[in-house]
Chain A
Amino acid sequence: NAGVTQTPKFRVLKTGQSMTLLCAQDMNHEYMYWYRQDPGMGLRLIHYSVGEGTTAKGEVPDGYNVSRLKKQNFLLGLESAAPSQTSVYFCASSYYIGLAGSNEQFFGPGTRLTVL
Chain B
Amino acid sequence: DAKTTQPNSMESNEEEPVHLPCNHSTISGTDYIHWYRQLPSQGPEYVIHGLTSNVNNRMASLAIAEDRKSSTLILHRATLRDAAVYYCISPQGGKLIFGQGTELSVKP
Residues of A within 8 A of B (CB): 4, 31, 33, 35, 40-45, 48, 50, 58-59, 90, 92, 94, 96, 99-110
Contacts and interface: CB of A to CB of B under 8 A. Distances in A.
Interface string B79-108: 000000001001111111111110000000
Looking at chain B's contact residues, is the secondary structure mostly helix, strand, loop, or mixed?
A: loop
Identify the interface centre among A40, A43, A92, A101: most chain B CB within 10 Å of its CB: A101
Given A43-B44, A110-B42, A103 B94 contact: yes
Contacts of B68: none
User: Range of interface residues on chain B?
Assistant: 20 to 34
Nearest to B99: A42
A interface SS class: loop
B44 A107 contact: yes
A42 B92 contact: no
B92 A101 contact: yes
Contacts of A41: 100
Contacts of A90: 43-44
Among B95, B97, B100, the most chain A Cβ lie within 10 Å of the Cβ of B95
Nearest to B31: A101
